[in-house]
A and B are shown apart, each in its own frame.
Chain A
Amino acid sequence: MVVTLLLLVPAVVGLWLVTGGRALEPARARVIAAATAAVTLVLAVVVAVVRPDVDLSWLPELGLRWSFGVDGIAVPLVLLTAVIGVLVTAHAWVDVPEGGTPATFLGCLLLVEAGALATFTARDAVLFFVAFEVVLVPMWLLISRYGDRHDEQARTDAGHRFILYTAVGSTLMLLGILTLVTSAGTSDLRALATGAGAALPADRQLLVAVLLVAGLSVKVPVFPVHTWLPPAHTTAPTAGSVLLAAVLLKMGTYGLVRLPVATVPDGFARLAPVLGVAGVIGIVWGALVCLVERDLKRLIAYSSVAHMGFVALALAAGSETGLQAALFANIAHGVISAMLFFLVGGLKQRWGSVDLAVARPALRETSPRLGFLLVLGLAASLGLPGLAGFWGEFFSVYAAWWPAPDRPRGLFVACAVVAAVGAALAAGYALRVAGTVWVGDRPAAEAAAATPDTSGVELGVLGALAALVVVLGVLPGPLLSVTADAAALLARGGS
Chain B
Amino acid sequence: MISADLVTVDPVALAPALLPALAAILVLVGDAVLPGRRGWQPLLGVAVLLVGAGTALATGLRPVTEPMRTLCLPAPDAACLWTAGPGTGTLQAGILVATAAALALLHDDGGGPRDTTVTTALLLAAATGGAGVAASRDIGTWLVTLELATVPVVALVALRGTRAAAHGALTLLVTSVTSFALLVLGAALWLTATGDVTFAADTVAATWADPERRTVLVLAATVLLSGLGFKLSLVPFHAWTPQAYSTADLGTAAALAAASKISAVAALLVVAQALAGAAVDSGSVSVVIGTLAAASMLLGNVMALRQTDSTRLLAWSTVSQAGWVVLPVAALSADGLRASAAYVLVYALATLVAFAAVAVVGAGALERTRGLLRRDRLTGGALAFALLVLAGLPPGIIGLVAKVVALRPAVDAELWPLALVAVVAVVLGIAVYLRWFALLLGVPDPDAVTDQPRAHRGASAVLWLGTGILVLFSVLPGLLLRLLS
Which stretch, A169-177, A192-200, A267-275, A319-327, touches the partner chain B?
A: A169-177
Q: Min CB distance, B132 to chain A, in Å? A: 27
CA A164 to CA B429, docked complex, whole Å: 10
Q: Are B401 and A59 in contact (CB under 8 A)?
A: yes
Q: Are B477 and A59 in contact (CB under 8 A)?
A: yes
A62 touching B412 in the complex, CB below 8 Å, given contacts A137-B395, A144-B438: no
Hey, which chain A residues are within 8 Å of B283, CB to CB? Answer: none
Q: Are A182 and B393 in contact (CB under 8 A)?
A: no
A59 touching B481 in the complex, CB below 8 Å, given contacts A164-B430, A167-B430, A168-B427: yes
Q: Are A129 and B430 in contact (CB under 8 A)?
A: no
- Any chain A CB within 8 A of the CB of B254? no
Hey, which chain B residues are within 8 Å of A163, CB to CB? Answer: 430, 434
- Any chain B CB within 8 A of the CB of A126? yes
Q: Are A137 and B394 in contact (CB under 8 A)?
A: yes
8 Å CB interface, A17-44 against B: 19
Q: Min CB distance, B54 to chain A, in Å? A: 23
8 Å CB interface, A34-78 against B: 57-62
- Any chain B CB within 8 A of the CB of A333? no
Category for how many chain A residues contact B: 20 to 34
- Any chain A CB within 8 A of the CB of B423? yes
Chain B contact residues, majority secondary structure: helix
CA A61 to CA B385, docked complex, whole Å: 25
Contact with B along A174-197 (1 / 0, CB 8 A): 110011001000000000000000
Look across to chain A and name the residue whose beta carbon is closest to the beta carbon of B388: A137
CA A60 to CA B480, docked complex, whole Å: 11
Hey, which chain B residues are within 8 Å of A145, CB to CB? Answer: 441
Contacting B394 at CB < 8 Å: which of A60, A100, A134?
A134
Category for how many chain B residues contact A: 20 to 34
Q: Are B412 and A126 in contact (CB under 8 A)?
A: no
CA A172 to CA B280, docked complex, whole Å: 30
Q: Are A175 and B394 in contact (CB under 8 A)?
A: no
Q: Min CB distance, A167 to chain B, in Å? A: 5
Look across to chain A and name the residue whose beta carbon is closest to the beta carbon of B394: A134
Q: Are A164 and B407 in contact (CB under 8 A)?
A: no
- Any chain A CB within 8 A of the CB of B27? no
- Any chain A CB within 8 A of the CB of B478? yes
A140 touching B411 in the complex, CB below 8 Å, given contacts A130-B400, A134-B394, A164-B427: no
CA A164 to CA B431, docked complex, whole Å: 7
8 Å CB interface, A122-146 against B: 126, 129-130, 133-134, 136-137, 140-141, 144-145
Q: Min CB distance, A62 to chain B, in Å? A: 7
Q: Are B407 and A174 in contact (CB under 8 A)?
A: yes
8 Å CB interface, B419-464 against A: 419-420, 422-423, 426-427, 430-431, 434, 438, 441
Look across to chain A and name the residue whose beta carbon is closest to the beta carbon of B424: A168
Q: Are A178 and B394 in contact (CB under 8 A)?
A: no
Hey, which chain B residues are within 8 Å of A289, CB to CB? Answer: none
- Any chain A CB within 8 A of the CB of B221? no
- Any chain B CB within 8 A of the CB of A436? no
Q: Min CB distance, B413 to chain A, in Å? A: 10
CA A141 to CA B395, docked complex, whole Å: 13
- Any chain A CB within 8 A of the CB of B404? yes
Q: Are A175 and B477 in contact (CB under 8 A)?
A: no
CA A179 to CA B408, docked complex, whole Å: 8
Q: Are B393 and A178 in contact (CB under 8 A)?
A: no
A61 touching B441 in the complex, CB below 8 Å, given contacts A19-B381, A126-B404, A133-B400: no
CA A144 to CA B481, docked complex, whole Å: 35
A156 touching B438 in the complex, CB below 8 Å, given contacts A60-B478, A130-B400: yes
- Any chain A CB within 8 A of the CB of B405? yes
Hey, which chain A residues are within 8 Å of B146, CB to CB? Answer: none
- Any chain B CB within 8 A of the CB of A15? yes
Residue among B411, B422, B438 with most chain A CB within 10 A: B411
- Any chain B CB within 8 A of the CB of A160? yes
Q: Min CB distance, B350 to chain A, in Å? A: 15
Q: Min CB distance, B324 to chain A, in Å? A: 13
Q: Min CB distance, A160 to chain B, in Å? A: 7
Q: Min CB distance, A109 to chain B, in Å? A: 16
Q: Are B427 and A167 in contact (CB under 8 A)?
A: yes
The 5 tightest CB contacts between A and B, nearest first, are A61-B481, A178-B411, A134-B394, A171-B423, A59-B478
Interface residues in chain B, defined as those with a beta carbon under 8 Å from any beta carbon in chain A: 338, 381, 388, 393-395, 397, 400-401, 404-405, 407-408, 411-412, 419-420, 422-423, 426-427, 430-431, 434, 438, 441, 477-478, 481-482, 485
Q: What 10 new A-B contacts, CB under 8 Å, besides A59-B478, A130-B397?
A: A19-B381, A100-B441, A126-B404, A130-B400, A134-B394, A141-B441, A163-B430, A164-B431, A171-B427, A175-B407
Task: List 30 A-B pairs, Cβ < 8 Å.
Answer: A15-B395, A57-B478, A59-B478, A61-B482, A62-B401, A62-B404, A62-B405, A62-B481, A100-B441, A130-B397, A130-B401, A130-B404, A134-B395, A137-B394, A141-B441, A144-B438, A160-B431, A163-B430, A167-B426, A167-B427, A168-B427, A171-B426, A172-B423, A175-B407, A175-B419, A178-B407, A178-B408, A179-B411, A182-B408, A182-B412
